[in-house]
Structure 1
Amino acid sequence: MKIAILSRNPNLYSTKRLLEAIEQKGHKGIIIDHLKCDIVIDESGPSIYYQGQKLKNIDAIIPRIGASVTFYGTAVVRQFEMMKVFSAVSSLAITRSRDKLRSLQILSRSGIGMPKTAFTNFSKEENDTLELVGNAPVVIKLLEGTQGLGVVLAESKKAAKSVIEAFEGLKARVILQEYIEESGGADIRAFIVNGEVVGAMKRQGKEGEFRSNLHRGGSANIIKLKRAEKTAALKAAEAMGLKIAGVDMLQSKRGPLILEVNSSPGLEGIEKATGIDIAGKIIEYIETNSLKKRKKVDA
């Protein structure tokens, strides 16, 4: 098989590990910068040109699309899909996952536990929005934020209103989310491949930090999920239509609460925390499902 990794940086840990796993399984791997792809649409059918050459004979792709280039990146993934190339993560699922508000709406419709969240067309005259999520302290999140950026913990109602007004002044869209105090600045990431939890880690924020992101200096350790946590993670990934996902959740008094379902989860933290060959499991998933798709097309 010829498998293309859509990545802008060949030196990233996840990109290098995926390429290594592809080659270890006896396949040919290539790295394609999706921002340098040209999409051609005409009566002869969809095609993609890369560095002046028409891409041919690619059996599968692994999208590693950054949040800042979601629109163009998913357009490239969609073009591959139109060309009958198997994608480890669908373009539609990526688009859903990148819209935080839409993601939460989908999860809510599926009856999945999550911190109570509110989104409003804020105005200074409205004083009851905070009460919808249980009053202060409250977590305020930018809808476009990633890796813990654009996430603020407001300790009081006054502080919350100041932060919201500041974001509003910048024309930035925010959501208000219930603060789960008992989580203690920690969360769980469950890594899912093809309907199975293949690894899980507990991430702990550094002292004085309520965000647990490893990019913010947090630490990670392997964890065995409780049945309810495993069920919640699998249900969340399924609701989002993601076959490969990193599901982030909080441990609370009322059970696991889903924070986010990531469509391009990094491999470094989970592989180092668990010692599991996650990249290899992703290639095994592609082997099985790409073959199924080819047989279906041939039939």
Structure 2
Amino acid sequence: MKILMLCREPRLYSCQRLKSEAEKRGHSMDILDPNRCLLKLSSNRPHFDVYYQCNGKENCYLLPKYDAVLPRFGTASTQMGCVVLRHFVAGGAISLNDDQAFLRARDKWQSLQLLQQAGVLVPQSILAGSEFSAKSAVAKMKTPTILKTLNGSQGIGVMLAEKPQSAVSILETLKEAKVVTLLQDFIREAKNTDIRCFVIGDKVVATMLRHGQNGEFRANFHRGGSAEKITLTIDEQQIAINAAKALGLDVAGVDLIRSNQGLLVLEVNASAGLEMIEKTSGVNIALEMIVCLEQKYQLLNNK
């Protein structure tokens, strides 16, 4: 296959691992920034052309036809990345994941709604309209309270308010800045840990327990968290699989947390990083992803 990865940072661990595993299996892979693409729709032919402009250059060139696309762009590139992804799929490429699933996962509130609708348990969460009183909204929650911006990643945009007054102050500030924010229960009994599952297709291929560093309530790798390999029960794995399916994702990083009410899904990531979970679990997740892409390609071409 000729594969395109949509990513702004080709040097990232995940990008290099996926490229390496793809090439070992005889495929070629380009890694390109979706923000440097120009999309063209022709009036007289059903072609979906894409032109690319390299950094610091005025000239652009027509990109070739790709068999498959791997979307790995960050939150700042979600809109353009999904538009470019849709363009390539319309032109005949397959993808892991598609643009609509990507958009669902990137909107934290919409993803929580879809998870709840699918019967997947999530922490108590609320989203208040811009004219709804911040004080009244916070009064509906327990304390401490977690506040999350809808489009953050790697723990950025996630805040902990120990007291109601602090939560009100933060929420009012974010509302003034027109940053849409949801409120969520703080799961104290989890003791600053959560579980990251990597789901590919209909199975959990790797799992790790993440620990927040020195009292940090966020256990993300980018916030200095550490991790250890763990094994979930079949029922617990099914929760992660159901979460990915609820959003229509082929590949997902599903974050779980143990609560007094049972295992809850915190969020689902459409382009989860590979570094920490590969090194912790010892699983070659990049290879698993390429194999999944191959299987999807073969299935499409055998129809």
TM bin (shorter chain): over 0.9
Offset at residue 61 of structure 1 (A)? 1.1
Letter of the 2:188 counterpart: E
Letter of the 1:114 counterpart: V
What is the rounded CA distance, in whole Å, between the counterparts of 2:62 and 2:132 in structure 1?
A: 55
Determine what percentage of the aligned residue pairs are the same residue: 39
What is the rounded CA distance, in whole Å, between the counterparts of 1:200 and 1:38 in structure 2?
A: 38
Q: Does 1:106 align with 2:106?
A: no
Contact 1:228/1:255, CA 8 A, preserved across alignment: no
Q: Which residue of 2 aligns with 1:40?
A: 40
> SS state of the match for residue 140, structure 2?
helix
Q: Does 1:94 align with 2:102?
A: yes
Which runs of 5 or more residues in structure 1 are unaligned? none
Q: 2:182 aligns with which of 159, 175, 181?
A: 175
Query: In the TM superposition, what whole-angstrom CA distance separates every residue of 1:45-74 from its partner, at most 9, and x where no partner exists?
Result: 222122433223421111111100111000
Q: Which residue of 2 aligns with 1:116?
A: 124
Q: Which residue of 1 aligns with 2:218?
A: 211
Map 1:212-291 to 2 at 5 A.
212-291=219-298
What is the rounded CA distance, in whole Å, between the counterparts of 1:278 and 1:72 in structure 2?
A: 27
Q: Please identify, of 204-213 and 23-32, the stretch whose mean Cα deviation from structure 2 is larger.
A: 23-32
Q: Please identify, of 137-146 and 77-86, the stretch whose mean Cα deviation from structure 2 is larger.
A: 137-146
> SS state of the match for residue 146, structure 1?
coil
Offset at residue 295 of structure 1 (A)? 2.9
CA RMSD across the alignment: 1.5
Give the 3 Å change call, closer, same or farther, for CA 120–20 of structure 1 in structure 2.
same
Q: Which residue of 1 aligns with 2:20?
A: 20
Which runs of 5 or more residues in structure 2 are unaligned? 54-59
What is the rounded CA distance, in whole Å, between the counterparts of 1:266 and 1:242 in structure 2?
A: 15
Contact 1:6/1:65, CA 8 A, preserved across alignment: yes
Q: Which residue of 2 aligns with 1:67?
A: 75
What is the rounded CA distance, in whole Å, between the counterparts of 1:124 and 1:256 in structure 2?
A: 31
What is the rounded CA distance, in whole Å, between the counterparts of 1:58 and 1:174 in structure 2?
A: 38
Offset at residue 127 of structure 1 (A)? 4.3
Q: Please identify, of 155-164 and 13-22, the stretch whose mean Cα deviation from structure 2 is larger.
A: 155-164
Query: In the TM superposition, what whole-angstrom CA distance separates every residue of 1:95-120 from its partner, at most 9, and x where no partner exists?
Result: 11111111111111111111000011
Letter of the 2:157 counterpart: G
Contact 1:65/1:74, CA 8 A, preserved across alignment: no
Contact 2:98/2:249, CA 8 A, preserved across alignment: yes
> SS state of the match for residue 198, structure 2?
strand
